[in-house]
Each structure stands twice: as structure tokens, then as C-alpha cells.
Structure 1
């Protein structure tokens, strides 16, 4: 982790950003106190879930999509 002042980062922004791109984290200081942290952004990969991920782990009952009993519907409606 690298610590720099605001003045240093303003003078050499491009070189510090290259270091961040390489994986370095930079703490920006002002009057001896940390005010910001600059770090690489984690790449966001949307990984496609494999088909059949939970195969044979549970069984969907035959009445899965049947209407709910009246008493359960009433409890959802506050009756």
C-alpha cells in the first residue's frame, strides 16, 4: 500500500494510476490524515450458472403450481 499527499498525486496522477492498474492501493493523505483510498476495481464477470446445478437435490411436487388453500390466501390478505 502506497501513501501519497494530495500535491504528489496531482503532480503525477498518470503514474499513480498506472500503479493502481497494476494492482497497487494508494492512500491519499491531507495534513497527515488519510482522506481517500484509490484501489483497482474488481472485474465483474457474470458467470453463467451451469445447467443442472442442483440436479437430484430436491423434487418438485406435482401440485407445485396448484392454487393455494383458501386459509393460506386469507392469511396473506390479512383476513
Structure 2
């Protein structure tokens, strides 16, 4: 999830915004209505392994994808 803040607001709320980034949110800083920067969390290696484990656990609870489904995705929009 992303939140958008203006530059001035980002200056006054920097500590709060960094806490949100540490919690996993992205913060977009805008000048007027134009986004100019993104604050996002830097992942460490041990976090990457945990993320991979979460993805694998999520995949285990879903039905397997068939070869026919994969072919249909590959061929979607193709002209033969």
C-alpha cells in the first residue's frame, strides 16, 4: 500500500513516515500533484528468505496450474 504526501508534510512528518516505511508501506512524495520520490523499505537477505517462504506457503494452498492454462496464457492475444 502506498501513501502520498506533499514535500512540506514529508519534512514535518519524516519520523512518522519512516516508521510506516519500516512497517512495509511505500511513501510517495509529491510536489503539488506531481510525484517526485518514493520511500521504500530496503530488504535484507534474511527478509528475502522469509518472503520466499511466504510465497511458497501461499502456493501450496492453491490448486496446481495445468499445462493447458499455461499454454492459454502464453497464446493469449497471439495471431496464428
> Scaled by the length of structure 1, what TM-score is found?
0.54
Unaligned runs of 5+ in 1: 48-79
Distance in 2 (CA, whole Å) between partners of 1:44 and 1:7 is: 34
Q: How far off its partner does 1:44 sit? A: 2.5
Distance in 1 (CA, whole Å) between partners of 2:44 and 2:5 is: 25
Q: How many residues align?
A: 46
Q: How far off its partner does 1:31 sit? A: 2.0
Q: How far off its partner does 1:34 sit? A: 0.5
Distance in 1 (CA, whole Å) between partners of 2:19 and 2:32 is: 25
Match of 1:40 in 2: 41
Match of 2:14 in 1: 13
Greater than 6 Å deviation, 4+ residue runs? none
Verify: 1:30 aligned to 2:31, yes or no.
Answer: yes
Match of 2:67 in 1: none
Q: Identify, as 1 or 2, the structure richer in helix.
A: 2
> Scaled by the length of structure 2, what TM-score is found?
0.53
Q: How far off its partner does 1:41 sit? A: 0.5
Distance in 2 (CA, whole Å) between partners of 1:38 and 1:13 is: 11
